[in-house]
Copies of this chain bind each other. A is one copy, B any other.
Amino acid sequence: MKKYVYLFKEANASMRNLLGGKGANLAEMTNLGMPVPQGFTVSTEACTKYYDDGKVISDEIINQIYAALTETEKVVGKKFGDSKNPFLVSVRSGARASMPGMMDTILNLGLNDQAVEGLAKLTSNPRFAYDSYRRFIQMFSDVVMEIPKSNFEAILEAKKEEKNVELDTDLNADDLREIVAGYKKKYLELKGEEFPQDPKTQLIDAVKAVFRSWDNPRANTYRRLNNIPYEWGTAVNVQSMVFGNMGDDSGTGVAFTRDPSTGEKKLYGEYLFNAQGEDVVAGIRTPKPISELEKDNPAIYQQFVEISNKLEAHYRDMQDMEFTIEKGKLYMLQTRNGKRTAQAALKIAISLVEEGLLTEKEALLKVEPKQLDALLHPQFDIESLKNATVIATGLNASPGAATGRAVFTAERAQELAKKGEPVILVRQETSPEDIEGMAIAKGVLTSRGGMTSHAAVVARGMGTCCVAGAGSVKVYEEKKYFEVSGKKYHEGDFISLDGSTGRIYGEQVKTVDATVSGDFAKLMAWADKYRSLKVRTNADNPRDAKVAYEFGAEGIGLCRTEHMFFEADRIPAMREMIVSKTLEERQNALAKLLPMQKKDFIGLYEAMQGHPVTIRYLDPPLHEFLPTEAEDIEALAKEMHLSYEELKATVESLHETNPMLGHRGVRLSITYPEIAVMQTTAVIEAAIDVNKRGGKVIPEIMIPLVGELKELKFVKDIVVKTADEVIKKAGVDLKYLVGTMIEIPRAALLADEIAQEAEFFSFGTNDLTQMTFGFSRDDAGKFLSDYYTKKIFENDPFAHVDEKGVGKLMDMAVKLGKEVRPDIKLGICGEHGGDPDSVEFCHKIGLSYVSCSPFRVPIARLAAAQANIKNPRS
């Protein structure tokens, strides 16, 4: 018989895949002898089985849960539903990867009409008991039975009105007893049956509800954004309740072993006396800093410090812990590796090495490559900042600077962002429903909640700037404005946030690019030491190339020459080329482009200081350079001294049904070899020019969209002939390479043939993904959301390389290419080149380098190091 349920004392931290992070760590803390309220974990396999069985928990699993329950009752010395000493539990999700707030939790489970009396007697606090019971009924009804909370809130509000009080806490035990009666009546009315009195029924229903919540829309979105497979499922932790709300000798809190914003080594957190954990996390009451616990209760504080030190040393990483104090006794409810800002991640990784807890390699694995992005985010321009007025200050919840238009709902954030507007999401507090709006916003501002509130935790995870708990900001979400010191800021008004200081500005403040700190440089140096993949950049102009070089790019992996042609001073010559009727006319137009291209290439070579520069020849279909609307054609015709009809005819003749699959890439050079001649002349003349001044340029000429050896051969012959003539004429020596993109499935399939002519391959995984899947990125948006909803795709193949399909072609191409040309250079220049998962894949299949946008270069460097540490190249 398969084991689906584990007591905490039966498990340990290595069982994370089976028991989820929370469950495995509760077990580990139990084994470490720490004060953990005992309980058990229902495994992720039970969740998977629940779905496989058609959303049913099998009798086998139910029996194992009951057995574990009995065992736990013995350990804690309480019994489910007992009128004297009732056993109450929390039921919480716990997946392999942390998904904060995405799934459901039920507290105080086990309360019924009998147990509530037991709890009242045991605590000598009937008010507390009935308050717990009414909370439980509401939570259970909401989470398990899907009865909207508003039904119960109305009853509560009615009672408060009746008693003419403002706060829940002003209600006494009798009031609450009546409220419970009202809740139960409402439940009966809505569900047609009594509120379940059997705690075992409550438990199984709650477990089922947690399993079900694995599949709720916000969890699915979160998983997709964080690349967490649906197959993993969630575990469920059933843990005996401890109460932080049993009076002033009780309390609850969360703390980090180091500052999650800066990485500073000091206990960092918050706590509230006489409160349940949810009160801290939800950000409804603003809690006290953890340091004050030392004054409030030195013994507990000391115990907690010892535990936290022990946990950090044990896990060799910064810990994020939850604790509860029940009548003067400390309980640990959770520990996990803490989420942190990029800056903190760097500092912690480096400190842990310095403290001798980690090796450099281990430290490199502790930093999430994507997080580095935050360090590279814009900061405010100092000059602009001088004139800006701070209208309020909140908590510096997630660093970086942001400016944008205020919006008050996640939906509106998405609408405006889609139109290209920068937005700042302003909320009283955020909830998991806001996650997509937060992802798309430049910054997040909340008026409530602390450093561990939902807004703060999620924004840090995303690397989005966030100012939280700005109490002086009154947010009116429904009315779409916020007010500070009597001044209203409406939807669409510009505001700015500094997530590193917590300052809020009521205007647009210019932002500038970030500079990278000493920790950053140190970690990057380690990364460079341990990686075997080179990292290049995709840059089309000297400006981007310089930025990338500063970020450590070791060359240009992709220069899209067409981007140069779209610029205002070049497009007239480009258009002239396109409308040319004869070879001669075309050559004349190209001759105008030549000096501009040459100048660009000189700039690129110089920016790269001797590192290789890969130049891709003209790729897009020619109609992209011409207008399509009648009036634009009219205007351009006038400008070009053509008749409207003439230009219109050219535009029409260039129209394509499927432009992605049209006359572009190498196909252009086959029809118009003179384009390749011009581009080669520019590439080679520029290199000669730079080398004459001491440069060491070896240009890499890249032919796009090749699917057949003869295509490459045809263009390569032109390139070589032209290049050799230019070199001969200049009377110099110059090496250059000619290679191709592998972006057509056929090129991957026939890579051995193509390697006969190609001196390098660069995987163009954008197009390769489109053609391998048979959908275009422009059109897939319409149906991909259905694909996510229906779980056909779990993540976006344009974000992470589809290893099974596209990756299989890549792997095949690598092997075939090396058979023919063992020293072939192999790179990737699709957007996947900056995605850490894809970088790891590229490392595994044996590429020589990845190339990505300048701001992704540090991410790729770290990802490459991690890949090599995890899978050392032999």
Residues of A within 8 A of B (CB): 656-663, 667, 670-671, 705, 707-708, 710-711, 714, 743-746, 749-750, 753, 767, 770-776, 778-780, 782-783, 786-787, 790-793, 802, 804-806, 808-809
Contacts and interface: CB of A to CB of B under 8 A. Distances in A.
Contact of A671 (B656, B671, B783): B783
A743 B773 CA distance: 10
Closest CB pairs A-B (n = 8): A661-B776, A746-B805, A658-B776, A657-B778, A744-B774, A662-B779, A745-B745, A658-B658
A773 B746 contact: yes
Contacts of A711: 792
Contact of A658 (B660, B804, B806): B660
Nearest to A655: B779
28 contacts: A657-B660, A657-B776, A657-B778, A661-B774, A661-B776, A661-B780, A662-B776, A663-B782, A670-B787, A671-B783, A671-B786, A707-B772, A708-B792, A708-B793, A710-B792, A714-B790, A714-B792, A744-B774, A745-B772, A745-B805, A746-B772, A746-B773, A749-B772, A749-B804, A749-B805, A749-B809, A771-B771, A771-B772
Contacts of A792: 670, 708, 710-711, 714
A662 B809 CA distance: 22
B657 A659 contact: yes
Given A657-B659, A660-B658, A662-B776, A667 B783 contact: yes
A707 B776 contact: no
A664 to B, nearest CB: 9
Contacts of A790: 670, 714
A255 to B, nearest CB: 42
Contacts of A808: 749-750
Given A745-B809, A771-B774, A779 B710 contact: no
A752 to B, nearest CB: 10
A110 to B, nearest CB: 39
B707 A774 contact: yes
A661 B660 contact: yes
A208 to B, nearest CB: 23
B661 A750 contact: no
Contacts of A773: 707-708, 744, 746
Nearest to A657: B778
A772 B744 CA distance: 7
Nearest to A705: B774
Given A657-B659, A749-B808, A753-B804, 16 more contacts: A657-B778, A662-B780, A663-B783, A670-B790, A671-B786, A707-B774, A714-B790, A714-B792, A744-B773, A745-B772, A746-B774, A746-B806, A749-B772, A750-B805, A767-B774, A771-B774
Contacts of A770: 661
Contacts of A661: 658, 660-661, 770, 774-776, 779-780
A160 B711 CA distance: 54
A616 B659 CA distance: 27
A772 B775 CA distance: 13
A740 to B, nearest CB: 13
Contacts of A671: 783, 786
A697 to B, nearest CB: 31
Nearest to A792: B710
Contacts of A745: 745, 771-772, 774, 805, 809
B656 A779 contact: yes
Nearest to A707: B773
A662 B658 CA distance: 10
Interface-centre pick from A744, A767, A770 (highest chain B CB count, 10 A): A744
Nearest to A804: B750
A793 B713 CA distance: 12
Contacts of A774: 661, 705, 707, 743-746, 767, 771
Interface-centre pick from A657, A744, A805 (highest chain B CB count, 10 A): A805
A784 to B, nearest CB: 9
B708 A662 contact: no
A368 to B, nearest CB: 28
Contacts of A750: 804-805, 808
Given A670-B786, A745-B745, A710 B656 contact: no
A805 to B, nearest CB: 4
Nearest to A774: B744
A215 to B, nearest CB: 15
Nearest to A778: B657
A785 B662 CA distance: 14
Contacts of A778: 656-658
A659 to B, nearest CB: 7
Nearest to A662: B779
Contacts of A662: 775-776, 779-780, 782
Contacts of A743: 774
A778 B658 CA distance: 8
A574 to B, nearest CB: 19
Contact of A670 (B707, B783, B806): B783
Contacts of A714: 790, 792
B710 A791 contact: yes
A37 B26 CA distance: 101
A133 to B, nearest CB: 42
A753 B670 CA distance: 39
A661 to B, nearest CB: 4
Contacts of A779: 656-659, 661-663
Contacts of A771: 745, 771-772, 774
Contacts of A780: 661-662
A771 B809 CA distance: 14
Contacts of A805: 707-708, 745-746, 749-750
A809 B714 CA distance: 25
A590 to B, nearest CB: 18
A670 B784 CA distance: 10
Contacts of A767: 774
Nearest to A787: B670
A426 to B, nearest CB: 31
Contacts of A791: 710
Contacts of A782: 656, 662-663
A705 B792 CA distance: 14
A655 to B, nearest CB: 9
A744 to B, nearest CB: 4
Contacts of A707: 772-774, 805
Nearest to A656: B779
A673 B316 CA distance: 51
A744 B772 CA distance: 7
Contacts of A746: 772-774, 802, 805-806
